[in-house]
Structure 1
Amino acid sequence: MTELTPLQNLWLTEAVRLREEHAGPLDDLEANRLARAAGGDLAGRIQRRALWLAERDGLTAALRHWLQGARLAVLLMAALACITGAGMAFSALGNGLGPVNIFWALGTLLGLNLILLLSWAVGLVFAGEHGAALGRLWLWLSEKLARDAKAAQLPPALMLLLQRHRLNRWAIGTLVNGLWLLIMLSALIMLVLLMATRQYDFIWESTLLGADFFAALTDALTAVPHALGWSAPRVDMIRVGLDSDYNRALVRQAWAIWLVGAVLIYGVLPRLILMLLCRWRWNRGRARLHLDLNLPGYAQLRERLMPSSERLGINDAAPEHLHRVESAVGAEVSEGALLVAIELDEQRPWPPALPKGVSDAGILDSRESRHRLLEQLTRFPPARLAIACDPRRSPDRGSLALVAELARNAAATRVWLLQAPQGQALDAERLGDWHVALQRLELPFADCAPMGWLENGHD
């Protein structure tokens, strides 16, 4: 399975947020527990939660299908761009049976490209979030080629994520200018091939305009190519016609070189520069992408993913005595027995059969449940407390801090390290970590149910 990129992680996180915003909260108890167990800051936990939900609900597979469709859409659009460019060259030069109006050919090759380039640039500067038809076409094709109903949630999430960081303009700009670069390169290559295999005579014709106008226009268009060392037709070549005695082979060659240079400099190079600029801005912006934790969907997760026990030191370096258990509860003020579990899987049946006089405090998997139980223990401390833990999970500092806090509110405490469900095995190294951690806490522990101890005070 291919590892997801940071952008794809953020993309899936945003898709999950939008899904919950429109359809309501998802069943996320296990996702929250796994995110809390992994630790880290709030943004990292939100991403881990979202990625687990996306994997469970098929959204990760839908993303991979959508990306396959997106790549295929780009290939199809690139093929269409190459065909379009070749068609422009054929349209500009014709079949070679008649003379070619040089300025009509130039307008055919550059006119639409320059108009759309100016339109894109003006929209980028003044409209800010300018959307291009080619960009919308790519999104539409990507969705159709993905053939996954769940992939329909992904394009809106991507657009919102990019718009929030003003990156959509550079993503669309890279696509648009890249496709037009292919069009102009294809036109240029076909132009050279046609001129290399056919003989074209170039003329200028106009009912309203004279030779002086075309001479001035040619000089203006030649300024940049000439500065770059590109040869251009002289004024006397512009003024001559086909009926003159001027060297027609020399005229044909001069106009052909001028036309190729104009397409290269005014058609290919601007699109290449703009595509590289957009790509550079896209790469810079993508590296700075992050979650906006102020969004309502993310702000609501803070209480579930940053539990209160972490105030005891899950994120900061802790001294050796942080989790030491020093119970202040005396035998004379405590009574009864209590069994409590910490973050168990939903598949595990709970609670087990309890002897008479032993109460079940349920499963602690949220900040509210922890607060509620700790408040109860403060008012009514039990004489005996058994804490059930799943040793398949790592003994992170948050869990150990909670175990220590619970033990401080009971006269006597034992930890029950549960057996793995049928068909599964415990990781020996992780189980050893639990043994070491509980020994440091100076708490007795066992892998069998301490029911006799809970009921009678002895095994």
Structure 2
Amino acid sequence: MLSPQDQLTELVRALETQQHVFATDPLLITEKLQTEKGTPTQKLHRRASGIDSNGALTRVLGKIDGRIKGIITVMSIVWCVSGFLGLFTLLQANVINFFYVLVCLLGFHTIMLVSWLVLTLVNRGKQSSNWFASFVSPSHLIRGKDDITQAAVGLYERQLQHSGMRWYLGKFSHQLWLATLTGMLCAIIFLLIVRQYSFSWESTLLSDRALITLTHLLGWLPNMVGFDVPDNAAIVQSRLVTDALPLSVARQWASLLVGSLLMYGIAPRAIAWLFCALIFSRKKMRLDIKLPYYQKILNFWQRQVVDADDFTEITAPVAPKATVSAGEKLVALLEYPSDIEQWWQIGVEHLDNSDHKIEDFGIVDDRDDMMRLITYLDQNPVQVLLGINNKALPDRGTLRKLDQIATHARHGLIVQLLNDKNTDTSAAEGSLIPTSPPAVRQQQWQTVLAARKIGLVNNQ
């Protein structure tokens, strides 16, 4: 399972891609976190918590998680009670056949434990059939047709299909066996306290010597942790007993029975449960920040940080006013097209083909465009008027192009910032990731042009 914070973050992603309306606008939260410190995962967690400001998403996730845990708890209690009642029924006689009871206690359990171990080794790296996913499917646990409920159900079902769930299922299976064995242990201790038992053993094929050897082998591990083991005389004396044994002998057999249940039943299951828990913690599902959705958010945050580091704004520099020469002109757009024809006439008065020889180069975007433009500038002494759309950010790649153009423009370079009103609106409506506010981008370009002493055309 994902952690609660990862679950909330994934649920926000699922709902945002479905154009869900949240309590708080995701764009505002994303912009607010631009300058905050923290790892990418921590910032994504804070973003999800901020978007879920009314806690509606958290409540739905908590409801599903609580019901799954409730089912597991109820099943553990039922298994514990069944183990207690089963052994309580088995130990109704006053004289108990020790080995018969021991086989009833640990026989099937041991077979299942060995089978799990063999299957784990054989199916290593493979995903087992996920019966648990169908048994506790979230669609059976919570009803609701709203977007949040449906997205939360889908999120939990994807988690249940994850490959790491095989270890969660192993942990759950061992937990049920531990509950059963614990119920049996409680029943044995309770009955040994309130009733007095005699223990015997019977065998047609095995001799006394064979049973003595078997008993000592069986009692070796319990004896290591302090449980009593019947001595040779007690073992021989307990064969075919129909009446009460001496109390000291009965206590030795009772101690061996309890010790065997602990050391050969509960202890191996506890080790298997701990092993599955450790492997599951390593292989459990985690937030995949490499998804395109998260990469767009992280790139936006990182790009803002890089720009701020490259162009430290101390006193908000202002670019110098552009001076239009009387010579030939070359007009070009940097990376983005413009919806306005002859856009250069907006900022520079009387700049038209009748008064100036103007060459419209078009858009300068890729490396081929740059090579073609530099070749033209090297062969023609012109002044370059470069139009920059309000979507363009002064990142390293854009500034590298700007510096190359300024170097090769023999009669100088001037810049005109194009404020296309339709651009910001469409970007805000059609993208999940916000761009920088126009005022911020304007000041960024002012800082860049001022540092390079490149004139800026006034569009007002």
Task: Please report the TM-score for the alignment, with normalisation by the length of structure 1.
Answer: 0.61
3-state secondary structure, aligned to 1:100: strand
Per-residue Cα deviation, 1:304-340 (whole angstroms, up to 9, x for no partner) = 6624992672574853469634256457895538xxx
Distance 1:303-1:141 versus aligned 2 partners, 3 A rule:
closer
Distance 1:48 1:259 in 2: 55
Match of 1:336 in 2: 346
Q: In 2, are the aligned partners of 1:28 and 1:53 still within 8 Å (CA)?
A: no
Partner residue of 2:140 out of 140, 144, 162? 144
Match of 1:313 in 2: 306
Task: Please report the TM-score for the alignment, with normalisation by the length of structure 2.
Answer: 0.61
**Structure 1: 5+ residue stretches without partners:** 338-360, 414-453, 455-459
Q: In 1, are the aligned partners of 2:199 and 2:253 still within 8 Å (CA)?
A: yes
1:324 aligns with 2:317: yes
Partner residue of 2:33 out of 38, 49, 62? 38
Q: In 2, are the aligned partners of 1:101 and 1:204 still within 8 Å (CA)?
A: yes
Q: In 2, are the aligned partners of 1:323 and 1:400 still within 8 Å (CA)?
A: no
Distance 1:253 1:383 in 2: 95
User: Bigger shift: 314-323 or 77-86?
Assistant: 314-323
Distance 1:380-1:325 versus aligned 2 partners, 3 A rule:
closer
Per-residue Cα deviation, 1:283-306 (whole angstroms, up to 9, x for no partner) = 5666x945251xxxx136535662
Match of 1:223 in 2: 220
Q: In 2, are the aligned partners of 1:16 and 1:50 still within 8 Å (CA)?
A: yes
Q: In 2, are the aligned partners of 1:89 and 1:191 still within 8 Å (CA)?
A: yes
C-alpha displacement at 1:86, in angstroms?
A: 0.4
Per-residue Cα deviation, 1:375-417 (whole angstroms, up to 9, x for no partner) = 9xx9997699699999xxxx9988765232465696347xxxx
Match of 2:249 in 1: 251
Per-residue Cα deviation, 1:146-173 (whole angstroms, up to 9, x for no partner) = 445524313333245x63xxx4354334
Per-residue Cα deviation, 1:191-245 (whole angstroms, up to 9, x for no partner) = 1101211232322234454444433322221111122232111233223335599
Aligned CA RMSD, in angstroms, stands at 5.1
Distance 1:236-1:396 versus aligned 2 partners, 3 A rule:
same
1:155-304 alignment runs, 5 A limit: 155-159=156-160, 163=163, 167-240=164-237, 241-242=239-240, 247-283=245-281, 289-291=286-288, 293=290, 298-299=291-292, 302-303=295-296
Distance 1:222-1:57 versus aligned 2 partners, 3 A rule:
closer
The one-letter code of the counterpart of 1:411 is V
The one-letter code of the counterpart of 1:195 is L
3-state secondary structure, aligned to 1:262: helix
Partner residue of 1:403 out of 421, 442, 447? 442
Count residues in correspondence. 361
3-state secondary structure, aligned to 2:71: helix
The one-letter code of the counterpart of 2:346 is G
> Highest CA radius of gyration, 1 or 2?
2
Distance 1:85-1:243 versus aligned 2 partners, 3 A rule:
closer
Aligned residues with identical type, % of pairs: 22
Match of 2:362 in 1: none
Q: In 2, are the aligned partners of 1:15 and 1:157 still within 8 Å (CA)?
A: no
Match of 1:115 in 2: 111
**Structure 2: 5+ residue stretches without partners:** 326-330, 332-343, 348-387, 406-412, 426-433, 450-454
Q: In 2, are the aligned partners of 1:232 and 1:254 still within 8 Å (CA)?
A: yes
Partner residue of 1:73 out of 71, 74, 78? 71
